[in-house]
Amino acid sequence: MRTNQILLPVTLALGALLFAAGFPTAPTIVASVDIEKIYRSLDQLKAAEARSVKLRGELEKRLATMTDTVKSMQEDLDSYQVGTPAHNDAMNKAILKAGDLSALQSFAKLKMESEQAISIRETYVSIRSTCGLLAKEQKIDFVFIDDTVPGINPTNLEGTMQQINGRRMLYSNPALDITDALIERMNSDFRAANPVMTTPAATPAVTPAAKPAVSATPTTPTTVPAGKS
């Protein structure tokens, strides 16, 4: 009895201190999103992919033109007698042009990788920003990336354990998912800000079979970040 008489005032005092300190007393509201579905569904990223396809086509055209030039210069070498000043001069010019072609191939590859990285990064920033606004409007305290959605890819023991260790959620109630609401909000905002912009689905650029150098800019789909929190 004596112990209860002591504990009750102490408990009340601690409760008063916690309340005065501003600790939350209302239940925490959480939600989840499927990040892969978001990336697949956003008009913003589709527009970026369309620009990427256009850029790839322009680079491939430059590569094809330079490839033809190098091939022509190499063929012209046969019209000169080996060892003559004219032959040496033509060969040096062909070597320089081939170097320019190699440099352009490297530039094209790096440029495409850079553009894809920028579009993914900018889209992620937009997702975070809009998600924050949506959460505030709906009085949501935390929004988690639901990494229970993607399956475990078949691989060896080490690869399997890496995938499992990279996960942060074991279960997520589908009723708490706000993925569709976020997608709808982001697409609506994007269309409002870009009323004249069309967002056709990106299609692989056609690479002429007779232009081997064009393969320096292979058509690769935009990599969607895996669903990890």
- At 163, is the pLDDT very low, low, confident or very high (cuts 50, 70, 90)? confident
Using the predicted structure, report yes or no on whether residue 19 has a pLDDT greater than 60: no
Instruction: Average the pLDDT over 124-143 and give the result.
Output: 94
SS3 83: coil
Q: Look up the pTM and report it.
A: 0.67
Say which amino acid occupies 24. Answer: P
Nearest alpha-carbon partner for 126 in 194, 51, 201? 194
Instruction: Average the pLDDT over 206-219 and give the result.
Output: 38
Give residue for tokens 């292979």: 218
Give residue for tokens 């989840």: 32
Measured between alpha carbons, how far is 91 from 73 in angstroms, rounded to an integer?
A: 8
Using the predicted structure, report yes or no on whether residue 167 has a pLDDT greater than 90: no
